[in-house]
Amino acid sequence: MTTLGQKGRFGLLIGLLILMLFGISLRAGAAPYAAMVIDARSGEVLHSRNADTRLHPASLTKMMTLYIAFQAVEHGEVTLDTKFLISKKAAAEPPSKIGLRAGQRVALRYLIRAASVKSANDAATAIGEGLEGSEAAFARRMTRTAEALGMSRTTFKNAHGLTENGHMSTARDMTTLGRHLFYDYPEYYNLFSRMSTSTMGKTVYNTNRRFLGSYKGADGIKTGYTRAAGFNLVSSAQRGEERVIATVFGGRSSAARNAKIAELLDLGFRRAPTRVAVRKPRKPAYVKGGGNAPVAMATLESPSKAPQSGDGIYKGKTIRLQRAVLKSIRPMRRPGADEPAVSEELLLALSVEIDDVVKTEAAKAAETKAVEQVVLASVQPLARPQDEEQTIPGSAGDLEMAIREESGGFTATGGPALARVLVPKRRPQRSEPVLASAKPIKEVSAAPVQFAAAHAATAPMPRTTIEPAPEQPRVITRVSTSGGKHWGISLGKYTSRYKAERVLLKTALKEMETLDGSLRKVANRKGGFEATFLGLSAEQAQNACARLSARGTECRTMEPGNG
């Protein structure tokens, strides 16, 4: 009995030892833990642990894939409707996936939805290949963009985040990326808070929907999981004026990860001040693919000094604010856009009209003064060529009436009481004569004898012949009927004042020559916040809308009193 008891105790001891060793091996193989919490408004670090340790980011990688997609759309590299060809490699990516087929063409907007909400690996690969031609080239662009964002310890090897040698990041770098997504592209940020979305005729559900539905104020951002990484999450939440971003690496399960991220966010809200100055992160320079180093395009002094694309630098658009635009540049179609091209005839017409409007302030002032002098001098009869005047003979004395056609209407000259009268004329119909379009001219034409006799009694004058003035340069203009600078243009309605002001600012920078001196105003109207420019003349409003419409921007003119 004693011997058996000793053997049993020995066996139990051996079993416990094996379990302990097994347990230690499990813990040793678990993904390392790291965490980071910041105040999103100021960027202040509220908590960190192993924040600079290089770890596997898993599908947090897709935040960078999406950031570059948003950047490419913003800079006109592609549009949301550009269709990407799905390769065999993209279609063969392991789950999570949306089920793309090789040879299929899918619009970028649907790939973005699938990658952000469903965390689809095939969609992420398709985005990378569509923008750079290959996933390897896109990964190099991702790394360059990470460096431009200040993510100094991040290296990307693919667009989706599946485990690959050298594909590493840190909790600090991923927190930085999440903050840039929120501030740099607020118009797309709502994607990360959607519980579900529709893409390619399918309804897909957010991989982060459990946490979004359970934590008050949570509105993003991205989950990730691989065996090497564990359960990762970058989350953002807002309560009142406070916004906190927290990141966790190495969760043991999705439930444990969600519990930990909730704990970190609670800690952040406790430590974050109620009021703090908002310091938005600096938006990086646009870095296009094809090279080996990031390029800040604004640092190029002149196009002649810029290396060619083979050296890794791509020429970008340059806006020189210190110079006035002397010639209108025809707006070019964005590559890959599906909308119909604007005809050359229309572009030429727009260029001519817009060039006529672009004048210096000195020229405008001189023109206005010239018009005033013409009006003040109108008390004296002005000579016109014989083919531009009509003489109505009178029956009382030798009174003479002359009606001349001018650019703004008809001018009648005669006695002192009717020295010069400018009658506005409307556009004549095909079937009616020009002189019959204004009521005062009708009366003169119908009864010239009575009209002449009435004025002959009070102001008789001898019949004289006006000699034509010698030929000299003339400034031909027309009296404005626009009601002064009381016109405006509307760029449409938006869901928030921020979006409307952002559109106004971007439009003002692009159209400085046509919108110079106008007033930007956001009007809170039924259906949203309307972005408008006010204080324009009729010509300015019409030509501004013509230019904006040619660029694909919604625009309508606003008449005085109808704003």
Residues 98 and 160 in one domain: yes
Domain boundary among 271, 304, 327: 271
pLDDT at 201 > cutoff 80: yes
Residues 444 and 508 in one domain: no
Residues 435 and 496 in one domain: no
3-state secondary structure of 239: strand
DSSP code per residue over 11-45 = HHHHHHHHHHHHHHHHHHHSPPPEEEEEETTT--E
* pLDDT mean over 239-250: 96
Residue 181 half-sphere exposure toward CB, CA atoms < 13 A: 32
Residues 424 and 537 in one domain: no
**Band of pLDDT at residue 551, cut at 50, 70 and 90:** confident
Residues known to be catalytic: 59, 62, 119
Residues 554 and 492 in one domain: yes
Question: How many Cβ atoms from other residues are within 10 Å of residue 142's Cβ?
Answer: 27
Domain boundary among 242, 271, 300: 271
- Let me know if residue 528 belongs to a domain: yes
Query: Does residue 388 or residue 472 have the better pLDDT?
Result: 472
From 68-72, 135-139, 196-200, 518-522, the region with the lowest mean pLDDT: 518-522
Residues 182 and 69 in one domain: yes
**Band of pLDDT at residue 52, cut at 50, 70 and 90:** very high
Residue 413 half-sphere exposure toward CB, CA atoms < 13 A: 19
- Let me know if residue 502 belongs to a domain: yes
Specify the pLDDT at position 560. Answer: 81
Residue ranges of E strands in 76-127? 83-85, 105-107
pLDDT at 429 > cutoff 70: no
Domain that residue 447 falls in: 380-458
pLDDT at 443 > cutoff 50: no
pTM: 0.51
Cβ contact 32:91 at 8 Å: no
Domain boundary among 226, 251, 271: 271
- Let me know if residue 287 belongs to a domain: no
And the tokens for 487?
């016109």
- Let me know if residue 327 belongs to a domain: no
The total of structural domains in the chain comes to 3
And the tokens for 398?
């030798």
And the tokens for 256?
């444990």
* pLDDT mean over 447-471: 49
Query: Does residue 366 or residue 65 have the better pLDDT?
Result: 65
Specify the pLDDT at position 193. Answer: 95
Residues 491 and 454 in one domain: no
- Let me know if residue 154 belongs to a domain: yes
* Nearest alpha-carbon partner for 98 in 226, 220, 202: 202
